[in-house]
Structure formats: C-alpha cells, structure tokens
Amino acid sequence: MGVPHVPQRYVLPPSQRPNPTLDLTTTLPIVDLSSLHNASQRSQTLDNIQSACKELGFFQVVNHGIPLAVMNDALDAATEFFNLSLEEKMLLLSANVNAPVRYGTSLNHANDKVHFWRDFIKHYAHPISNWIHLWPSNPPSYKDKMGKYAQAVQVLQKQLTEVMLETLGLNIGHLHEEVEEGCQLMAINCYPACPEPDLTLGMPPHSDYGTVTILLQSGPGLQIMDNNRNWHSVPFVEGALIVQLGDQIEVMSNGLYKSVVHQVTLSAENKRLSIASLHSLPLNKKIQPAPELVDEQHPVSYNEFSFRDFLDFISNNNIADRRFIDSIKKTA
C-alpha cells in the first residue's frame, strides 16, 4: 500500500526485533551434490554434510540436478499469483491449518497477537496427481510451472533424506517406503518491501516440523541461529537451494542432528519471494528416536509424535511463543 510506517499490529517488542547491523555470513556450508557421484569425493562430501547437520542443521546445495529454468519458472508463477487482485486470492483464504490449499497472511491471521509481514499460499504436492487439481487455476501457468518444480524437488528430497540417514548409520531400507509415501507441503511466501524493516519480521524464529525443508529464494532475508544462539544472515547464491533440517530428523537422530531455528528479515527496497518445500513422513506415522542411536550413554531424549500431533499443536499454540519440539523433549 506504500504506507510510510509499519501499522501497529506488526510492531514487535524491542527484544524480538531483528539486529539491523548483522552482516551476511560467508562461511555457511555449501555442498556440491555432484561430488556424491564421484567415488574419490563421496566420503569427504558425506563428512561435510554430517558436520553441517550436527552443527547447524543447515547447508546450501549446488549442482543439485534441478535446472535453473525450472526454478525461475516456479518463482515467476509465485510472482504472478501474488500479483493477482486481492479478491481473486481471497477465494482461497482459510485459517484452517488442515486445508489442502490455503491462502493467508502472517502465520495464522485468526489468532496472531503480533502480525508478520508475509502473505503465503500453501498446498500439498505429493503425490502430485492427488493434489494439483486443487491448486490455483489462476494464473493459468501456475499448475504447470509450480508442478514441474514440486516434482523435481521431491526427487531431490528423497536423495538428501537417504544421504542424511546414511550419515547417521541408519538402515535406509526400512524407511525407504515411508520417505516415498511422505508428505510434501509447498509454502510459497511473499515478503513485500517494508518501510521500517527494523521493527518487524516476515517470520518469527521457528523450526520446521518435518524431516527436511528445501528452500528456493529470490534474494537474501533468511537468518539462521547457531548452537550458541547467534544469528547468521544467509547469503543469496544464484542457482543454489537451501536445505534446512526439521524436527523429525532431530528426533530420529535422538538429538545428534539439529533442526535449525530460522527467521525472515525484511528489506526497505526489495520484495522477496521464497518457495519452501516441506517434507515429512506420513501424516499418522509415529516418529521416535532410531533404536540404533539409543544406548546407556544416549538415552531416549524425545517422546514419540506424528505430523497430526503437530497440526493439533499449531492449532492451539503460537509458534512464535513456543517450539513444538520443546513440547516433546523428555525432562531428566
């Protein structure tokens, strides 16, 4: 709307505002996935992925097999969707976290105490034949462009999940089917330019629920928290995709790997788009620490839970106040 100030409902308490002086962190890990297919480099690449999963729960990937044109087409489809008239987008408005296609603003506009500077559309995507007919029919190219990207990123996710299970020393076989039958939720986000970006956020600090999230972005804005609770601004790397570990992997690894806490900062000049492909094991599958990673020195650290439990949690709790994973940690 071109307002000169941020409306009061978006203004965060001072302690929750972003640090405007944070520089881009150039030392965050970038993994060349093509080296997994090179016998002489595979072992080192697996070590690099393992250390990124332990220390940050985050890395970027290049040479990941998804053509730049497919990625750019998906961002174009997102741009066209958010450029539609408000009336058109409001046809998909829902505050129901279980809705298969849901347009909204902030986190959940129906119960957010402070609003976040974001519009989004979310829809399920795997298997694509079950869901694509529910996706927006407008813009006309949306289903084709977003669909091609969703299918490509689903293939990449399977590869990455199997590599991460391998680095944990887990038997991939018994999980292969569940990875195959898992859930893929596309969250397409629009963060408009903001007149006072120091006062608000596009998304509050949170971790993702699933096994892994693969993020395509049009520019910088993402920040991740390290183990020392310091924030790092993630640089934009043309053609790269961001890999963020979710709560399911942290639980399956019994805390060996970390789900990454992240937030979204804003720009006074630039709108930012992101397409998050959130992957998780099937809706009713109970997740618990892998027995191979539990012993006397490493007792079970988490109670079992399912994606449905998580949906119940976010219906009744504000993720800006409390992380889901903290609700299932065992107390000593």
pLDDT band at 193 (very low <50, low <70, confident <90, very high): very high
Residue 141's CATH number: 2.60.120.330
What are the backbone dihedrals phi and psi of residue 302, each rounded to the nearest 5 degrees, phi first?
Answer: -140, 145
Residue 302 has pLDDT above 80, yes or no: yes
User: Residue 73 falls within a domain, yes or no?
Assistant: yes
User: Residue 251 falls within a domain, yes or no?
Assistant: yes
Which has the minimum average pLDDT: 30-39, 163-172, 182-191?
A: 163-172
pLDDT band at 111 (very low <50, low <70, confident <90, very high): low
- The SS3 assignment for 222 reads strand
pLDDT band at 107 (very low <50, low <70, confident <90, very high): low
Residues 6+ apart with CB under 8 A from 148: 70, 73, 74
What are the backbone dihedrals phi and psi of residue 269, each rounded to the nearest 5 degrees, phi first?
Answer: -100, -40
User: Residue 19 falls within a domain, yes or no?
Assistant: no
CA distance 236 to 201: 18
User: Residue 3 falls within a domain, yes or no?
Assistant: no
The encoded tokens of residue 286 equal 């109970």
The reported pLDDT for the residue numbered 109 is 59
Q: How far is CA 274 from the centre of its chain?
A: 10
The four Cα atoms 154, 160, 161, 167 give a dihedral, to 10 degrees, of 170
297 or 179, greater pLDDT: 297
CA distances from 285 to 138, 147, 246, 295, 317 (A): 34, 26, 16, 23, 22
Residue with tokens 């956020």: 201
Residue with tokens 């308490």: 13
Per-residue pLDDT, averaged over 44-72, amounts to 95
The encoded tokens of residue 1 equal 């709307």
Q: Which H or E run includes 241?
A: strand 241-245
Per-residue pLDDT, averaged over 187-210, amounts to 93
The total of structural domains in the chain comes to 1
195: burial class by Cβ within 10 Å (0-12, 13-18, 19+)?
middle
User: Which tens digit of pLDDT belongs to each residue from 213-255?
Assistant: 999 999 999 999 988 888 999 999 999 999 999 999 999 999 9
104 or 123, greater pLDDT: 123
Tell me 255's DSSP state.
Answer: T
User: Residue 169 falls within a domain, yes or no?
Assistant: yes
Cα three-residue angle 319-322-327, rounded to 5 degrees: 115
Structural domain containing residue 64? 33-328
User: Residue 37 falls within a domain, yes or no?
Assistant: yes
The reported pLDDT for the residue numbered 63 is 96
User: Residue 22 falls within a domain, yes or no?
Assistant: no
User: Residue 14 falls within a domain, yes or no?
Assistant: no
- Are 120 and 92 in contact by the 8 Å Cβ rule? The answer is no
Average pLDDT, whole number, for the chain?
A: 89
pLDDT band at 320 (very low <50, low <70, confident <90, very high): low
CA distance 11 to 17: 9
Residue 326 has pLDDT above 60, yes or no: yes
Per-residue pLDDT, averaged over 189-216, amounts to 94
